[in-house]
Amino acid sequence: MKSAMTDAPRSATSPGADDARPPRKTALQAVRGMNDVLPDEAALWERFEETTRDVFRRYGYRNLRVPIVEPTPLFVRAIGDATDVVEHEMYTFEDRLNGESLTLRPEATAGIVRAAIEHNLLYERPQRVWLAGPMFRHERPQKGRYRQFHQFDVEALGFAGPDVDVEQIVMLARLWRELGLADGIHLEINSIGDAAERRAHRSALVEYFTRYADALDADSRRRLSTNPLRILDSKNPALQEIIAGAPRLVDRLELPARTHFDALTQMLADAGIAYIVNPRLVRGLDYYNRTVFEWVTDRLGAQGTVAGGGRYDGLFEELGGKFTPACGFAMGVERMILLLQLAKGDVRDAPFAYIVHVGDAAAKLAHRVAEELRDAGHSIVMNAGGGSFKAQMKRADASDARFALIVGDDEAAAGTVAIKPLREPGEQRAVAAQDVAEHLSASAHKTL
Ligand code: ATP
Ligand code: MG
């Protein structure tokens, strides 16, 4: 609607008596790569999160929470300065008050290990923990890759494995089953050995890739001197053939890592978990040793890794703690949601009943019935803001509720409620107000 009052140009010299409203401000938008999750989509997130938490609980993992902001050196030391994350992706800023360099967490393991050391969490026994929340990486946003994204992160601290390595893999296999996604996700594993063979392997890789230096891209050429293992992780299609011919660390493991890996594969076979050994699997972060694994789907294009992890026996010492073997993984929530949407579409959290009421006496009875139904655990939407029966019935229908409960003057006088099924055949019928909860609970069980 055009109005002279709001559209008139404002000026200091002719403010105008009616010109009390400020001009409309331009609407702000979210930061690029950082997404809102609106209620229709959030319903699926909640179901996914509930299922995940419940599966972790059944394996004895307990929740732990650490800050989103940590001192920058924590991530530089934990993740390694020649990694994509530390080189390009961290949101780092100076605390305005004391100039300390702080970083929005790009991953969870570093903060969890810091907390475990700081609070002496492993004093009495090893710990199984999980954490959920947002992570921040300055990447190029695309499907399945965002700047604020969410992870479930799981860590077994103080366990030398390989039994806990297998436990975590088995736990994820169960999660895929319970989410109905087992068909679409497969397991890749590898061993990247211990420090000694990694050093030897590093020289072998440098020698190998130097022979192809002309064919490498700029990133990989740079990594030849900083972090040659990471060349294996390159997503550049032009390099895949060269990478495929590179020396394989899994072929030259020393006895301890070999024994660990053989036990891991044996236990996976015993648990009936199918896997592929991918000798080029290295993981993007520096702190891993021995077991590395990824769960991968081919349904999401290039962003196919839905969960990845492995063993990081050296990280506690790297961060100033005592030697503590540990194993963990992180699962990307957005990629899981994309998979679930492909498999089942969005779910909507429809209310059980929508209460239509007209008149003061009706409103009182309606409130009482609504509270009783909520006592019984049902999701009940009360009509708010008045409106005719017809208008309220339209809202009831639009809410996707299973039932409309209708209360007018007549019902209020008789102490009854009219129940009208909205999604299934059945006549509207009047039920005494005190029997509504029982009546509806019975019919809920009948048809659900
Ligand atoms: P990628 O190779 O896809 O960049 P990564 O090796 O950097 O993954 P991790 O640090 O191991 O990933 O994180 C574990 C999981 O978190 C990934 O497998 C993925 O599901 C998810 N993830 C990582 N980065 C992002 C992102 N920018 N946006 C959405 N999900 C992400
Ligand atoms: Mg990455």
CATH number of the domain that 383 lies in?
Answer: 3.40.50.800
Does 233 map to a domain?
Answer: no
Does 292 map to a domain?
Answer: yes
Same domain, 161 and 275: yes
Same domain, 269 and 286: yes
Does 28 map to a domain?
Answer: no
**Which range is least confidently modeled, 14-18, 210-214, 426-430?**
14-18
Angle, helices 195-211/218-226, rounded to nearest 10 degrees: 140
Same domain, 51 and 147: yes
Question: How much is the pLDDT for 3?
Answer: 41
Residue with tokens 């998979």: 339
Same domain, 281 and 379: no
Q: What is the mean pLDDT of residues 268-289?
A: 88
Does 325 map to a domain?
Answer: yes
Measure the CA–CA gap between 103 and 74, rounded to whole angstroms.
9
Q: What are 372-403's pLDDT values in tens digits?
A: 999 999 999 999 999 999 999 999 999 999 99
Is 153's C-beta closer than 6 angstroms to any atom of ligand 1?
Answer: no
Same domain, 272 and 305: yes
Is 159's C-beta closer than 6 angstroms to any atom of ligand 1?
Answer: no
Is 188's C-beta closer than 6 angstroms to any atom of ligand 1?
Answer: no
**Cα angle 113-115-118, degrees, rounded to a multiple of 5:** 110
What letter represents residue 332's amino acid?
G
Does 6 map to a domain?
Answer: no
Question: How much is the pLDDT for 394?
Answer: 97
- Give the chain's domain count: 2
305, 311, 329: residue to mutate for ligand 1 pocket, most atoms within 8 A of CB: 305
Q: What are 151-167's pLDDT values in tens digits?
A: 999 999 999 989 999 99
Residue 444: which pLDDT band, with cuts at 50, 70 and 90? low
Measure the CA–CA gap between 20 and 417, rounded to whole angstroms.
49
Same domain, 338 and 358: no
Does 29 map to a domain?
Answer: no
Does 19 map to a domain?
Answer: no
Residue 18: which pLDDT band, with cuts at 50, 70 and 90? low
**Per-residue pLDDT for 189 more than 60?**
yes
Residue 283: which pLDDT band, with cuts at 50, 70 and 90? confident
**Per-residue pLDDT for 307 more than 80?**
yes
Last residue of a domain, one of 303, 325, 344: 344
**The two three-digit tokens of residue 139, written as one number:** 């990447």
Q: What are 398-425's pLDDT values in tens digits?
A: 999 999 999 999 999 999 999 999 998 9
Question: How much is the pLDDT for 213?
Answer: 87
Beta bridge partners of 430: 418
The strand ranges marked E within 217-366 are 276-277, 289-297, 305-311, 326-332, 353-357
From the CA of 281, the nearest ligand is: 1
CATH code at position 74: 3.30.930.10
428: left (phi over 0), alpha (psi -120 to 50) or beta: beta
Residue 280: which pLDDT band, with cuts at 50, 70 and 90? confident
Same domain, 287 and 314: yes
Measure the CA–CA gap between 415 and 369, rounded to whole angstroms.
11
Question: How much is the pLDDT for 259?
Answer: 96
For a pLDDT cut of 70, what percent of the chain falls above it?
A: 94
Measure the CA–CA gap between 33 and 148, rounded to whole angstroms.
6
Assess contact for 282 and 292: CB atoms under 8 A: yes
Same domain, 329 and 424: no
Question: How much is the pLDDT for 12?
Answer: 47
31, 303, 329, 333: residue to mutate for ligand 1 pocket, most atoms within 8 A of CB: 303
Is 128's C-beta closer than 6 angstroms to any atom of ligand 1?
Answer: no
Residue 423: which domain range? Answer: 353-443
If one counts every other C-beta atom within 10 angstroms of the C-beta of residue 188, the result is 17
Does 201 map to a domain?
Answer: no
CA of residue 87 to ligand 2 center, whole Å: 12
Question: How much is the pLDDT for 11?
Answer: 46
Q: What are 343-358's pLDDT values in tens digits?
A: 987 777 899 999 999 9
**Per-residue pLDDT for 13 more than 90?**
no
Same domain, 331 and 362: no
Last residue of a domain, one of 295, 324, 344: 344
Same domain, 121 and 145: yes
Q: Which residues contact 214 (CB under 8 A, 6 or more apart)?
A: none
Give the DSSP letter string of 75-111. HHHHH-TTSHIIIII--EEE-TTT--EEEE-S-SHHH
Q: Which residue has the higher pLDDT, 74 or 18?
A: 74
Count helices and strands (H / E) in the chain: 16, 16
CA of residue 284 to ligand 2 center, whole Å: 7
CA of residue 247 to ligand 1 center, whole Å: 26
CA of residue 331 to ligand 1 center, whole Å: 8
Same domain, 331 and 365: no
Same domain, 272 and 397: no
**The two three-digit tokens of residue 267, written as one number:** 């236990």
CA of residue 209 to ligand 1 center, whole Å: 26
CA of residue 217 to ligand 1 center, whole Å: 22
CA of residue 332 to ligand 1 center, whole Å: 6
Is 149's C-beta closer than 6 angstroms to any atom of ligand 1?
Answer: yes
Assess contact for 162 and 260: CB atoms under 8 A: yes
Is 145's C-beta closer than 6 angstroms to any atom of ligand 1?
Answer: yes
Last residue of a domain, one of 320, 344, 368: 344
Residue with tokens 């909205």: 422
**Per-residue pLDDT for 14 more than 60?**
no
